[in-house]
Amino acid sequence: MYRINREQNNIEKLDERLFKDLGFRERDHLQEWIAKNPDVLGEDFLIIQKEFSGFNDTNERLDLLALDKEGNLVIIENKLDDTGKDVTWQALKYASYCSTLTTKQILDIFQDYLSKSNIEESAEELIYSFLELTVEELYLNSGDQRIIFVANHYRKEVTSTVLWLLDHDIQVQCFRATPFSQNEEIFLQIEQIIPLPETEEFMIDAQEKKREDLEKSKGLSETKKTQLEFWRMFKDKLLENNSIQSVQTPKPRYWFNVALGKSGITLSNIFNVSKGELGVRVYISSRQVEEWLPYFIENKSLIENYIGESILWDPNPGNSDKIIVLYKTFELQDKTNWVKALDWMTEKTISFKTIFSDLISNK
């Protein structure tokens, strides 16, 4: 790593160091830095516990337990200068322990963490806000658990095991944490090394194809199959538009989110087969409502004129989270109607994304 010296129009090499030589410890330092700044791992995480030991019949402790934006549990293990040889086995044990945790147990774990941290907030409300979901949508730990390793040096037996796990559709990431120094200043670089960010999308697509083949052989419930099929078609339609660069991997559930570029404000698509209803909505978390809902309402005419239809503004006034939504009915159980349904949802999603993104960036 180099420091840019603007005055001399030159670069100055920083000295790569070891954590132990600088007096840093795993629990007191690296773990705390990540707990306070989880975005250093490349995405939004909600830390819900440190040194978690709530496993039956064992005294083992995992370093950090988090939730991702999909409501999945994330096990984060930190190992400073050397991973050791058993870190993958250790993390897999923790993931297996966490796989049985219910939504209520996770809420209790998070509330305990908040209490110990002297934070007088509700675990439930914070998770609703983080996931950008309404109350009735909360269902945690429904997918596979994820594992993240953070260390300066990875042994070969660790990296080979991680690559094998990735090939078998286990969600694992490795980050290298490297301290640097220059005179009295100390710097930290955290970078993802497995999978490499530039190959991660390809690996996800390959795993998605493998998962699709597996689903055909094992079978999902009919509802889940229908949801997954619809969202895969919807993803393909969205990516045909030049204004959409990337979208999430489709999953078997009734919603599909598209980023608007602002934390706490999400564009969410709804596919409800039993009601024969599609929806395109902007979800505003309770923390963002006071700032953003009045601003959007001020621009109501502009928004509705651009979208070309009247919109429902805050149809559930009793909820602290707010939504701005447009619904349309289709006979969705008849797949011959899906072409028109997908055309409508794609058109309205792009309109919503364009006008709301513009308003957010211009505020």
Check residue 217 and give its pLDDT: 45
Residues near 305 by beta carbon (within 8 Å), at least 6 away in sequence? none
Check residue 15 and give its pLDDT: 92
* Same domain membership, residue 159 and residue 37: yes
The CATH code of the domain that includes 267 is: 3.30.1460
Q: Which SS3 state, helix, strand or coil, does residue 201 take?
A: helix
The CATH code of the domain that includes 191 is: 3.40.1350.10
* Same domain membership, residue 148 and residue 83: yes
The predicted-structure confidence for 5-59, as pLDDT tens digits, reads as follows 899 999 999 999 999 999 999 999 999 999 999 989 988 899 999 988 877 666 7
What does pTM read for this prediction?
A: 0.59
| Domain end marker among 140, 170, 201 | 201
Residue that wins the pLDDT comparison between 220 and 238: 238
Tokens of 28: 């007191």
Q: Under a CB-based contact definition with an 8 Å cutoff, are residues 310 and 338 in contact?
A: no
d(CA 37, CA 32): 8
- Confirm whether 124 is domain-assigned: yes
- Confirm whether 61 is domain-assigned: yes
Q: Is the pLDDT of residue 209 over 60?
A: no
Pairing of strands 322-329, 62-67: unpaired
The predicted-structure confidence for 50-102, as pLDDT tens digits, reads as follows 988 877 666 778 999 999 988 899 999 999 999 888 899 999 999 988 888 88
| Domain end marker among 201, 233, 258 | 201
The count of residues in the chain is 363
Check residue 305 and give its pLDDT: 94
* Same domain membership, residue 181 and residue 77: yes
Q: Which SS3 state, helix, strand or coil, does residue 74 take?
A: strand
Q: Under a CB-based contact definition with an 8 Å cutoff, are residues 309 and 326 in contact?
A: yes
Q: Under a CB-based contact definition with an 8 Å cutoff, are residues 269 and 256 in contact?
A: yes
pLDDT band of residue 188 (cuts 50, 70, 90) is: very high
Domain count of the chain? 2
The predicted-structure confidence for 119-175, as pLDDT tens digits, reads as follows 888 998 899 888 877 656 678 887 789 999 999 999 999 999 999 998 887 889 999
* Same domain membership, residue 263 and residue 170: no
pLDDT band of residue 248 (cuts 50, 70, 90) is: confident
- Confirm whether 69 is domain-assigned: yes
Q: DSSP labels for 247-294?
A: -PPP-SSSEEEEEEEETTEEEEEEEETTTTEEEEEEEE-HHHHHHHHH
Q: Return the bridge partners of 313, or none.
A: 324
* Same domain membership, residue 19 and residue 142: yes
| Domain end marker among 171, 201, 231 | 201
- Confirm whether 336 is domain-assigned: yes
d(CA 201, CA 101): 29
Q: Under a CB-based contact definition with an 8 Å cutoff, are residues 46 and 66 in contact?
A: yes
* Same domain membership, residue 329 and residue 274: yes
The predicted-structure confidence for 292-347, as pLDDT tens digits, reads as follows 999 999 999 999 999 999 999 988 787 777 889 999 999 998 999 999 999 999 99
* Same domain membership, residue 318 and residue 228: yes
Q: Is the pLDDT of residue 203 over 60?
A: no
* Same domain membership, residue 230 and residue 157: no
* Same domain membership, residue 236 and residue 164: no
- The CB density around residue 261, as the number of other CB atoms within 10 Å, is 11
Query: Which range marks the domain in which residue 30 is found?
Result: 2-201
Mean pLDDT calculated for residue range 171-189: 92
Phi, psi for residue 112 in degrees, rounded to 5: -60, -40
